[in-house]
Amino acid sequence: MKKVALITGASGALGHAIALRLAQDGYDLALHYRSGEEEAQHLAADLQRQGIRALPVQADICLQEEVDKMIEVVEQELGPLSVVVNNAGLVRDRTIAKLTDEDWDIVLDTNLRGAFHVCKAAVQRMRPRKSGRIVNISSIVGAMGNYGQINYAASKAGLIGLTKSLAKEVARDQVTVNAVCPGFMDTPMVRGVPEAVQEKLVAQIPLGRFGEPSAVGEAVAYLAGPGGDWVTGQVLHVNGGMYM
């Protein structure tokens, strides 16, 4: 039986790259989305043409009951979960003077509470099997902060703390929990900011260029694969040398 991986936020650029990389390692894939149904369906179709079982699944990860149902459906359709990648996230960037409670809540709920819900549901199934890998996608912003992103930074820093603490809880059951912190990647989100801002961002990167989303896929594949067997509670920075 093939191993099964669930990727949240699979309709986005990083989720897409992670899915393609895990497909190379032969995983069957559950592709979570909240509102990006068209993108998730297209990705699933592409993978299915390659002989990969790919299942688009919709859920609001801010709600534990929807997450529980999603994982139940995934295991019924594809089989026991081997890997979970918490990649879903969003931004609502404003300086603190303009940041509203709603801006704070929606970012923390999606980026941190959502990951907590997915982790909780996943470990309940992984622990009795004495096997499982969880990879949480944090951010360079969670490690070093960024102007106008206190809500996003708080959510991603919180995800690092969640990762390290959960790793200690489930290690005895042979479940590993790690985080990947991407830097500024060549995604539509980054390319959508003004060119002058892009130039300032690149100037901060020692390697002198934005990262390719595939680099994040490679990091996830390492932590999910044989090489990550004795790695847990760690944060893997993929950022061109910005934060060492």
Active site amino acids: 152
Tokens of 231: 């790695």
| Residue 219 Cα distances to 5, 140, 165, 195, angstroms | 15, 14, 21, 28
Of the candidates 27, 32, 28, the residue with the CA atom closest to the CA atom of residue 9? 32
Hey, what are 160's tokens? 């690092």
DSSP-derived secondary structure letter, 18: H
Residue 201 falls in which region: left (phi positive, over 0), alpha (psi -120 to 50) or beta: alpha
Q: In the structure encoding, which two tokens stand for residue 235, read together?
A: 């944060």
CA-to-CA distance for 121 and 72, rounded, in angstroms?
Answer: 9
**Residue 229 CB contacts under 8 Å (≥ 6 apart), including other chains:** 176
